[in-house]
Amino acid sequence: MQPVNLIAMQHELLTEAHSATARRAAHTVYHGGALLRQTALALLAGAELAEHDSPPEATLQVLTGKIRLIGQEQDWELGTGDLIAIPSERHSVVAVEDSVFLLSIRRDARSQQGARS
């Protein structure tokens, strides 16, 4: 296992997002058949992840920039260094400014067992 330099990854993802038509980029940081998956995502200002279902358990940590996490009943504006548990409801994410965040997801153990069968 090799360490991941999140600062270097931020720069790479933002560069990639600037050349992408969707104005976003992502890279899986950790995923090894375990129940934990971590993905770094870059969203340029105004770009969004459309409303989607919540995983069983997840956190979002802003590495750089500012985003808005929009839930069904509430929304949160988060900046560099902020960490939040993602609500167990449909939600979306919008970049207020060019941003990179780390999404950590606990995967469902039952889906893992089914994948190994």
For the stretch 63-77, pLDDT in tens is: 999 999 999 989 999
Tokens standing for 19?
């050349």
User: Does 114 have pLDDT greater than 60?
Assistant: no
User: Does 50 have pLDDT greater than 50?
Assistant: yes
Q: Where are the domains of the chain?
A: 6-116
Architecture per CATH, domain 6-116, reads as: Sandwich (2.60)
Confidence (pTM): 0.87
86 neighbors 59 (Cβ within 8 angstroms):
yes
Note the helical H segments in the chain: 6-18, 109-116
